[in-house]
Amino acid sequence: MFGRRGNDGGNRGTPEFRAPTPAQFSAPAGDSLVLDEQVPATRSEPSVPVSPAARTRTVETPPLAPEPRRMPRERSESYYDTKSQVFSALIDTIDLSQLAKLEPDSAREEIRDIVNDIIAIKNFAMSIAEQEELLEDICNDVLGYGPLEPLLARDDIADIMVNGAKQVFIEVNGKVEQTGIRFRDNQQLLNISQRIVSQVGRRVDESSPICDARLPDGSRVNVIVPPLAIDGTALTIRKFKKDKLTLDQLVRFGAISPEGAEVLKIIGRVRCNVVISGGTGSGKTTLLNCLTNYIDRDERIITCEDSAELQLQQPHVLRLETRPPNLEGEGEITMRDLVRNCLRMRPERIVVGEVRGPEVFDLLQAMNTGHDGSMGTIHANSPRECLNRIESMIAMGGFQLPQKTVREIVVGSVDIIIQAARLRDGSRRITHVTEVIGMEGDVVITQDLILYDLKGEDAQGRLIGNHVSTGIARPAFWDRARYYGEEQRLANALEAMEKQS
Ligand SMILES: Nc1ncnc2c1ncn2[C@@H]1O[C@H](COP(=O)(O)OP(=O)(O)OP(=O)(O)O)[C@@H](O)[C@H]1O
Ligand SMILES: [Mg+2]
C-alpha cells in the first residue's frame, strides 16, 4: 500500500515513641510482634495506537491460583539475530509515519504482509510457529510496547521490572522471578519508555531522567534513564487490575479471616479514621480499595492520589490527582495542595492514596474536624512504626509543634491502623488491626484487636498461621459502631473470632 515492497535491503522512626502497650491490651501478641521484625523491609519501590494484545487483557485470576503461564520461552541468540535482520529490512521498506496513521489492526496486517515477504525473500529457515512468533514480536515492537506486550497481556502479574535491556523480572504470586524476555538494545528500551511517557505528555531523557506515567489501562509506570540508572534504562510497572480484589477474595486467599473481614467491613462503614500501613507492594492500595466498598452510597468522597489507582464504587466520588512540575520546573501540584483544597470541597470523607509527606498534617486535621471516616496509606512495617512515621512526616513539614501536641493530634485523629505485609513466602496478609486509644503521659497507647499468628511452615515452604483475636470484647470504636447500629454485628464478629482463637 505505502511501502516500497520487494526492497530487501536490509524506606525506621524515632525510638522514644516506642511505648510498652499495657499488658491487658496486647494479649497474645508474642508471635506476631516477632513477625513484624521478620517481615523484610520489602523491595523498596493517554491515546496512541495500542496493540490489540494490550487492549484485550483478560479478566484477573486470583494471585494464589494463577492461570497457566503464557510466558514466551527463552529465545536463542540466532532468534534475536534473525529478528534484527528482518526488523532492519522492514524499517527500510515501510514508511513509519504513514503506518502511524492506520488503525492498529490494519497496521498490524500491513506489517505482517511485509515481514512475510522479507522472510521469503531472505530465505530464513523457520517453522510456521517460529514465523508466527517473530511476526507477533515485530508487530509489538513497531506498534505497541515491544517485548513487554506478552507480559502486559497477563493479568496474574503484579509488577514488571525492567533493569536495562537484558533483564526483565516479574512478580507473580508474591514472588519475583526473572523472565527470558530481552530488548534488542538500550535504544529500543528507551524508545518504548519514551512512547509510554509521551502518551501522558511527558518526556524522559538525559535532561529529564526520571518520569512517572500511566499506561492507557491505568498501570502505574516509573522510568529512570542513564546516567542516573547506571546499567541502562530502568522501567517499573505496577500492573493495574481491572477487577480489583475484594475483601471476600482476600478472605479466600487467607489474607484475613472471615471474622476479621467482618470487623473491617464494620470499620469501613462506621466512619473510623483508618491508616493502612505496609511495605512496598504489601497490598495497601488494594486494602484501601476494599474498605471503601463499605462506605455508604450517599456519602461524598474525595480521593487524592499520585496516580489514580483506586476504583470506588459509590455514585458520589470525586477523584483528584497530583501533577509533577513541567520541564521548566513549574506548575507542580503536590499532595498537600490537593488535600488542602479538598477541605474546601465539602467532602464527607477524604481518601488519600499514599501519604508520604507533610500532607499527613492536613489529613489528620481533616480527620478530627468533621471528616471522620477518612483513610490513607503509609509506608511502615508495623503499627508502631506507622505512628513514628506520621510524627516524623509532620516534623519534616516544618511544623514547629511540641512532640506532645503532635501526638495528641495523632491520637485525636487516627482510630485504626491496619497493617499489611508481604511475607517471605510471597503471601500478602493483614498482620494487625490495631486501635489508637489514647495517651499515657507522652506516650501513644494502642491496642491490637486482631493479629496474625505465625505458626510455622509447610513442606512447600508456605507459611502457616491464622488470625487471632486478642480478646478485646469492647473495642474503643464500640460507641461509634453503636451509633451506626452495628454494635451487634461487631459483637458477633469479635465473639466468633474469640472462639476461633
Ligand atoms: N491479599 C492479597 N493477595 C494476593 N495479591 C494481593 C493481595 N493484596 C494485594 N495483592 C496484589 O499485590 C499487588 C500489589 O498490591 P498494592 O498495589 O495494593 O500494593 P501497595 O502496598 O499499595 O504497593 P505500593 O507500595 O507500590 O503502592 C497488586 O497486584 C495486588 O493485586
Ligand atoms: Mg499503593
Beta strand residue intervals within 182-219, DSSP E = 210-214
Tell me the best of 286, 355, 377 to mutate to test the pocket of ligand 1, counting ligand atoms within 8 Å of each CB and taking the most: 286
- Closest atom of ligand 1 relative to the 158 alpha carbon: 29
- Closest atom of ligand 1 relative to the 420 alpha carbon: 21
**CA 481–ligand 1 middle distance (angstroms):** 28
Instruction: Indicate if the alpha-carbon torsion angle 250, 256, 259, 260 is positive or negative.
Output: negative
Output the pLDDT for position 358. Answer: 92
Please check whether residue 54 is in contact with residue 195, taking contact to mean a CB–CB distance below 8 angstroms.
no
Output the pLDDT for position 326. Answer: 75
Residue nearest atom 29 of ligand 1, based on CA coordinates: 158
- Closest atom of ligand 1 relative to the 64 alpha carbon: 4
CA distances to 7, 85, 151, 178, 210 from 166, rounded to whole Å, are 31, 19, 15, 11, 20
Pick the ligand that lies closest to the CA of residue 288.
Answer: 1
Bridge partners (DSSP) listed for residue 376: 275, 352
Asked, as a colleague might, if the bond just before 258 is cis with ω within 30 of 0, I would say no
**CA 475–ligand 1 middle distance (angstroms):** 28
SS (H, E, C) 32-79: HHHHHHHCCCCCCCCCCCCCHHHHCCCCCCCCCCCCCCCCCCCCCHHH
Output the pLDDT for position 461. Answer: 86
Bridge partners (DSSP) listed for residue 417: 275, 434
Q: Which residues of 63-84 are buried (b: 16+ CB within 10 A; e: fewer)?
A: bbeeeeeebbeebeeebeebbe
Listed in sequence order, the residues at least 6 apart from 2 whose beta carbon sits closer than 8 Å to its beta carbon are 94, 95, 98, 99
**CA 132–ligand 2 middle distance (angstroms):** 38
Count of Cβ atoms closer than 10 Å to residue 325 Cβ: 11
Pick the ligand that lies closest to the CA of residue 427.
Answer: 1
Residue nearest atom 15 of ligand 1, based on CA coordinates: 283
Residue nearest atom 26 of ligand 1, based on CA coordinates: 281
- Closest atom of ligand 1 relative to the 239 alpha carbon: 29
Could you read off the pLDDT tens digit of each residue along the chain, which spans 501 residues?
Answer: 444 333 333 333 333 333 333 333 333 333 333 333 333 333 333 222 333 333 333 333 334 433 333 445 566 778 878 888 888 788 777 776 677 677 878 888 888 888 889 988 888 888 888 888 888 888 887 778 889 999 999 989 999 999 999 999 999 988 999 999 999 888 889 989 988 887 777 888 888 899 988 888 889 999 999 999 999 999 999 998 888 899 999 999 999 999 999 999 999 999 999 999 999 999 999 999 999 999 999 999 999 999 889 999 889 999 999 988 877 778 899 999 999 999 999 999 999 999 999 999 999 999 988 889 999 999 999 999 999 999 999 998 888 889 999 999 999 999 999 999 999 999 999 999 999 999 999 999 999 999 999 999 888 889 999 999 999 989 999 999 999 999 999 999 999 988 877
Residue nearest atom 5 of ligand 1, based on CA coordinates: 63
Pick the ligand that lies closest to the CA of residue 352.
Answer: 2
Output the pLDDT for position 16. Answer: 31
Pick the ligand that lies closest to the CA of residue 420.
Answer: 1
Pocket-forming residues, ligand 1, beta carbon under 6 Å: 45, 63, 158, 238, 241, 245, 250, 253, 255, 278, 280-286, 428
Output the pLDDT for position 87. Answer: 80
CA distances to 72, 163, 417 from 215, rounded to whole Å, are 22, 19, 32
Cell (9 digits) for 328: 521548566
Output the pLDDT for position 470. Answer: 94
**CA 284–ligand 2 middle distance (angstroms):** 5
Tell me the best of 285, 462, 463 to mutate to test the pocket of ligand 1, counting ligand atoms within 8 Å of each CB and taking the most: 285
For residues 312 and 293, what is the distance between their CA atoms, to the nearest angstrom? 7
- Closest atom of ligand 1 relative to the 309 alpha carbon: 17
Gyration radius from the chain CA atoms? 26
450 phi/psi in degrees, rounded to 5: -130, 140
Residue nearest atom 23 of ligand 1, based on CA coordinates: 281
Output the pLDDT for position 97. Answer: 66
Count of Cβ atoms closer than 10 Å to residue 484 Cβ: 15
Bridge partners (DSSP) listed for residue 422: 428
Residue nearest atom 28 of ligand 1, based on CA coordinates: 158
Identify the residue whose cell numbers are 498534617.
361
**End-to-end Cα distance, the chain:** 72
Cell (9 digits) for 92: 527500510
- Closest atom of ligand 1 relative to the 45 alpha carbon: 26
Residue nearest atom 9 of ligand 1, based on CA coordinates: 283
- Closest atom of ligand 1 relative to the 255 alpha carbon: 1
Output the pLDDT for position 27. Answer: 35
Residue 282 is which amino acid?
S
- Closest atom of ligand 1 relative to the 245 alpha carbon: 31
Identify the residue whose cell numbers are 541502562.
232
**CA 353–ligand 2 middle distance (angstroms):** 7
**CA 394–ligand 2 middle distance (angstroms):** 21
